Chains A and B, each alone.
Chain A
Amino acid sequence: MKQTMPRKVALVANCLLNQNAKVCEGARYRGLVSPVVEALRSRGYVLQQLPCPELAFAGARRWWAVYEQYDTPAYRAHCRRLALAIAPLIESYLRNGDEVILIGLDGSPSTGVRFTSSKPDWGGRPNRPEDDWEIVPRRGVWIEELEAELGRRGLPPLPATGWALDMGRFDEAGSRRDLEEFLDSRESGGAGPRNKDSGTS
């Protein structure tokens, strides 16, 4: 990729630009999650969509699942393949001196950043009458594998947050405030496109 002036780049969870990727009954918007897109574009971020790990693995009509159900060797291998697909782009941004941030999906078993969903005894017939999973503070499986691949390439950890779509009761106004505080704290903290000469490895 040709070198360009350093930019601000937001790696965005697939379903934040495409709610059709969500598990059945999980879509809160028709397509784009417009508050996220607006918050990022208004602050000058370039959008880079991440692949959806669950859709290509378990399909468009998959059951709901928690972290423990996706924490399998086969799913992690699938996530590593996706990480290999997208990591060269991320690496090129970082080598160009771009400021790169990650916006995941809090509560997701795959794309959670600050929180994921957990219920170790989920399994078998999908007959849970209530939303009885727990929210625990850890990455989802996909984000763990993506960060591991970036680490193998000698790239620094990315500043990251999550849009709280999968935390149980969805609070759009609260999620928007939360995201804007994260983005504005980066501005006020002096974060910006990295000096190209500072190196990233």
Chain B
Amino acid sequence: MLAVRPVCAQRAALPEPLAERYGQRPIAFERVAIDLPPLAENGNSVPIEVSVDSPMTPTDYIRRVDVYAPANPVPHLIGFELSPAAGRAHLETRIRLADSQQIWVVCEDQDGQLWAAVADVVVTLAACLDSFL
């Protein structure tokens, strides 16, 4: 039987670098979608797409998007700053992954409310391998 993981379980398991940055601020696991290959052959360059359901108007927009890989030597991979002029909260880039892990994307709206999503990725050949020898 498949168990449905409740939102609070993810919240309780907030990894260290995120707990440090966001503290006790409430995080809703809604509105954010991560598109990441479930299996990445080369951790040196893994494509990632993030889209946030937002009208991107001056009164209702996403102002910040941060991507974390808690098992990397530097877990904060990239941060995006958006303005309403962006029109759409849809971003693409390429990241480095040191290991198979969960990728966290945390977004902040104009009022400072946090929205997040988590995606699993398996990495067959890790990036920056030397630091783990």
Q: Do they bind each other?
A: no
